[in-house]
Structure 1
């Protein structure tokens, strides 16, 4: 189970900063919960912090020397938990709701991905000393943050045809990919000269430590970076040249593997970039993705149809199919998805993320030929029939769409991180463990030799 929780933790740390429950047997006997931090109208409990710390320590088993002192690591982890609370609160305030069935679908998909039934997953979580209710709660938070991020992307991120044209031109003849890492010292949107000076001194101090060989880059990122990926050593993964901000692309091409840039001033603050590795794009292998062919029947909520009525209608349609009715005929008669109704609900071939995480998780959890129970998404109630699946090499097919998605991801990353910083800056946060707020001794290394 340690491997399963590690995989889930790694996924949530890169997509959004959710920390899943881990071993917490001793805490169950505490009569009163301690408070680690107050976050607006919510709190981070000491038990939440302890579980999150246990998860991070398990990720760095055998590499503990890369971690900062415990009080600094605690502060990093608290910041992660604070951001989770703020994102979930913002999502709830904007009407994002994840119902129990959506959580069930996500848990089922997670169990299937790890070769387990849901019952086996629950038993394994219990053997590891964690509550399955807490596990489900973390899954719900993750889905909530995903939904908030999707809405954010739809409202804030757009890619122009000119940007796609420029990126495609830049790709011609470019056969290299770059694995990057970074350290970010963030500054507020309207930073004062004093704040800029402090941030610049800090980033120069970190660079000095690296130049003197007193710390490797990953350890410095864990200790000093303000980026959400700090606990992953600042790793940004493999990127094509068009996935690197234009201002940094030429600089990256001038670095040698292992090399670290001079401090850079960007829109988020001051950064250090490390070129970890370079590879020929062909070394990445075929760009294989799992595609599914499926059909669905949609019952919408609204226009005089409330939640209960829509769910009852979906249950009735599902019962008809279970009783032998032809799925395509039921879809043609009753589906409210105008784009697929005439085709008997057929959606053609698609990837799991194409219609949103809830829909994709449900399709992935089905066997070929299986029909789902009614599933709730933002669109309404779905009944899904998975017809078949395949591994497809997308290669250069529909290259323009791929380039557009690449640019969109890069823009979303920048805008989302800025949004998180703004949200954190506007929040009332009272940290009640570790060093005094914002005054950790090791946060600002000295500059100079």
Structure 2
């Protein structure tokens, strides 16, 4: 099965319907064949069942079927998976409290997107899911949960994250600013909020234990699965490619002295200890963009002009320009209904190809300089387009500012949502009922009740 589907199927097994109930006692003979389900955790007013945990763990084992050695001992794996189930349950409950609602149309679009990524039709995707032994209805519910959490994330960071021009200027002029991109993996050992010296020391000891295991030959991804308490732990801690200006400055200084394949020491951050692996790096290059200079006439339907009349008028104007050699700019001033270009004789100035939309971009590709297009239709109406010229524009500076704005925004968003999740867990009632599933190192961080 293709990776995106496999990933989503893993996520599917991690979250079952919130209305799941305890199994009713079966007859003695049936009970002998099938163990009674039990509650393994209470999360506020809901519960997580042993069957949910078993399904999620089984899905992880299937995901790593070709590399079983990367998985930690069963009790650690169960703790990791249960922690993910708890965190997802808390986010879904918070989203419900905030009135986040997902429609069937939203889920249909997500299904279509997953199918397209895997070069399948939605019907073929359904067959793939069911062939793997999963329920397609549950698959759709998992997609709905993912969309719900995305919208909760957007809601949380929307009002708390803003980026000013002065912040961009400060970043770009800072002596600590570093260009280029890095592919990172990490292990995070969190420090509980309000932790005392002994709790901080315990987190540091766990980080040093993970570092010793890596130095002793354990694969970094396997160590992340075993030791990290970050949400991406079960994915091997892979952070993907990030611009250096997205990395906290203290970590960026460490990365600057590392080579691909190197692993850092245990670095203290605002929320805990981090171990970084530099997988690869690449330098940022200059960004050259092809820009077009063009002008247009737009004939738009209105209360007084029917769509058919607008089309006819566009063809009449095309004939006057091409065959009668009338002035394009003069006709644009007189007839064009585009408020941004009509008074300038239809001049659209210099612009990147996709700036005016995909329909105009496609027309530009088919024209030579000074050539006039046949009338064509867009949502706005009927267009006549003349391509006047092209040039290569160095957008490195502007791109750098855009990327700096994005980096600052992403960093603030990550911190804001991380703080939100820490508060969410700290204020939740979480009771792990099965002693062997309690992670004694992180119970305080998770807000777990005894």
Same fold (TM over 0.5): yes
Of structures 1 and 2, the larger Rg is shown by 2
Question: What's 2:219 paired with?
Answer: 216
CA contact (8 A) 1:18 1:84 kept: no
Question: What's 2:189 paired with?
Answer: 185
CA distance in 1: counterparts of 2:111 and 2:37, whole angstroms:
28
Q: How does 1:29-428 map to 2 (within 5 A)?
A: 33-169=37-173, 176-211=180-215, 213-282=216-285, 349=357, 396=396, 398-428=399-429
Q: Deviations over 1:139-183 (max 9, x none)?
A: 111110000001111022222322211333359995532222221
CA distance in 2: counterparts of 1:429 and 1:169, whole angstroms:
46
Distance 1:399 1:439, change over 3 A: closer
CA RMSD of aligned residues (A): 3.9
CA distance in 2: counterparts of 1:206 and 1:157, whole angstroms:
34
CA distance in 1: counterparts of 2:149 and 2:266, whole angstroms:
32
Question: What's 2:8 paired with?
Answer: 8
Question: What's 1:354 paired with?
Answer: none
How far did residue 90 of structure 1 move? Answer: 0.4
Aligned residue for 2:436, secondary structure, equals: coil
CA contact (8 A) 1:20 1:135 kept: no
Q: Deviations over 1:237-268 (max 9, x none)?
A: 22222011012211110123332223222111
CA contact (8 A) 2:14 2:53 kept: no
Q: Deviations over 1:60-105 (max 9, x none)?
A: 2322111101121111011111111100100110111112222122
CA contact (8 A) 1:178 1:276 kept: yes
Number of residue pairs matched?
Answer: 338
CA distance in 2: counterparts of 1:139 and 1:342, whole angstroms:
42
Q: How does 1:428-443 map to 2 (within 5 A)?
A: 428-433=429-434, 435-439=436-440
Distance 1:115 1:259, change over 3 A: closer
CA distance in 1: counterparts of 2:378 and 2:438, whole angstroms:
53
CA distance in 2: counterparts of 1:46 and 1:342, whole angstroms:
64
Aligned residue for 1:219, secondary structure, equals: helix
Q: Indicate the larger mover: 41-50 or 235-244.
A: 41-50
Unaligned runs of 5+ in 1: 22-26, 288-324, 330-340, 351-368, 372-392, 442-449
Question: What's 2:364 paired with?
Answer: none
CA contact (8 A) 2:203 2:441 kept: no
CA contact (8 A) 1:184 1:272 kept: yes
CA distance in 2: counterparts of 1:430 and 1:173, whole angstroms:
45
How far did residue 286 of structure 1 move? Answer: 10
CA distance in 2: counterparts of 1:370 and 1:19, whole angstroms:
45
Q: TM-score, length-normalised on structure 2?
A: 0.65
CA distance in 1: counterparts of 2:271 and 2:77, whole angstroms:
22
CA contact (8 A) 1:18 1:81 kept: no
Distance 1:426 1:406, change over 3 A: same
Distance 1:75 1:5, change over 3 A: same
Q: TM-score, length-normalised on structure 1?
A: 0.66
CA contact (8 A) 1:18 1:80 kept: no
Distance 1:398 1:279, change over 3 A: closer
Q: Deviations over 1:18-61 (max 9, x none)?
A: 9478xxxxx9x969654332211122233332332233223323
Q: Indicate the larger mover: 45-54 or 228-237.
A: 45-54
CA distance in 2: counterparts of 1:273 and 1:259, whole angstroms:
8
Aligned residue for 1:261, secondary structure, equals: coil
Higher relative contact order (CA 8 A, sep 6+): 1
Question: What's 1:317 paired with?
Answer: none
How far did residue 279 of structure 1 move? Answer: 2.8
CA contact (8 A) 1:171 1:241 kept: no
Distance 1:412 1:127, change over 3 A: same
CA distance in 1: counterparts of 2:43 and 2:220, whole angstroms:
31
